[in-house]
Amino acid sequence: MQRSLLQHADEPGALLPILHDVQDALGYIPAHTVPVIAEAQNLSRAEVHGVVTYYHHFRAEPAGRHVIQICRAEACQSMGADALLAHAELRLGCSAHGTSKDGAFTLEPAFCLGLCASSPAMTLDDQPHARMTPRAFDALIAQDNNP
């Protein structure tokens, strides 16, 4: 984090790149980093916290070993994304923005993955998967949950 703060010290509006660096390094934005980032950027803690909670990309809690994002944009919704998300919640035992009890999977909604012609779409650890069905979801999860 310190390297990112130094790298962006003289850049106006560097909060987002710093937050990306912290999340890339740690997997989330720990609460104890917020005051440090705020002071370095001459912002209030509330401003930094507001950005972390506003953008769905940022996490305030550690993610599971695998991150699943299910597209919630209109094209995917029209092709069954709502049913896919409901199935994923049941299968993983957690709601959107949650992590399975075993810590294996974090489930997140996404707002357009750019696979509209192949909807419904999702990513598993940033790898895109298109034309997903509950059966395909189960197969993918079983494959990735067995190292």
Chain segment 55-111, per-residue pLDDT in tens: 888 999 999 999 999 999 999 999 999 999 999 999 999 999 999 999 999 999 998
Number of structural domains in the chain: 2
Same domain, 70 and 140: yes
Q: Has residue 10 been placed in a domain?
A: yes
Asked if 74 and 111 sit in the same domain, the reply is yes
> Helices 45-54 and 15-26, interaxial angle, to 10°?
70
Q: Are residues 37 and 95 in the same domain?
A: no
Question: What's the pTM value of the predicted model, to 2 decimals?
Answer: 0.81
Helix and strand element counts for the chain (H, E): 7, 5
Q: How far is CA 10 from CA 62, 131, 137, in A?
A: 29, 45, 45
Structure tokens at 52: 């972390």
Q: Quickly list H helices, the chain.
A: 2-7, 15-26, 34-40, 45-54, 74-78, 81-92, 134-144
Domain that holds residue 104: 66-144
